[in-house]
Amino acid sequence: MIKKNASKFKNTKLLLSAFTFLSIALIASCSGGGDGEFTVIKGAEVGTFNQAQANMGKKIFSEKCASCHKFDIKLVGPPLGTVVKRRSTDYILSQILHPDKMIANNDTTKALLAKYLTQMPNQHLNMVEAKAVLMHLTDVSNGGGK
């Protein structure tokens, strides 16, 4: 009888541990969650919206990003139509410029990899180009730029 109760307790404990792990993973992968603790870029200044920058970013996005990302639907990677409302500027720029460091150190990025099963490749953009892409994403988020 004691062995039977110990076995039930062990199974309950295992089930509770699995539930806790899955709950944490689900919370981390939710689009409304935080940015994780780690970002490569800290305190980035983008400035006010600039349509010329957004237009440059649209061109870069179509050349470098559109094969994996759409705005309203999942493709290879997550949809990016509202990413500027869900993620910080530092997170977005870090993800664009240093996806390898983000996957190694950022819990949100790790959760996205677990969900989408494809690591974002480094597109070798510079900061000016990355900020232009961010400006384009801001334009799209505000209803323009598609």
pLDDT (0 to 100) of residue 11: 62
Residue 19 domain flag? yes
**80 in the same domain as 11:** no
Domain for residue 146, yes or no?
A: no
Shared-domain flag, residues 8 and 44: no
The reply to whether 40 and 112 lie within a common domain is yes
∠53-126-123 over CA atoms, to 5°?
Answer: 105
Cα 135 from Cα 84, distance rounded (Å): 9
Please indicate, yes or no, whether residues 101 and 119 belong to a single structural domain of this protein.
yes
User: Residue 76 sits in a domain of what CATH number?
Assistant: 1.10.760.10
Q: Which amino acid is at 77?
A: G
Contact yes or no for 99/122 (Cβ under 8 A): yes
pTM given for the model: 0.76
* Same domain as 137, residue 87: yes
* pLDDT (tens digit per residue) in 68-77: 999 999 999 9
Q: Is the pLDDT at 28 greater than 50, yes or no?
A: no
Domain identity same for 67 and 90: yes
Nearest CA-CA partner of 131 in 100, 93, 101, 95: 93
Range(s) of the domain holding residue 16: 1-30
- The total of structural domains in the chain comes to 2
Q: Contact, 61 vs 136, CB < 8 A?
A: yes
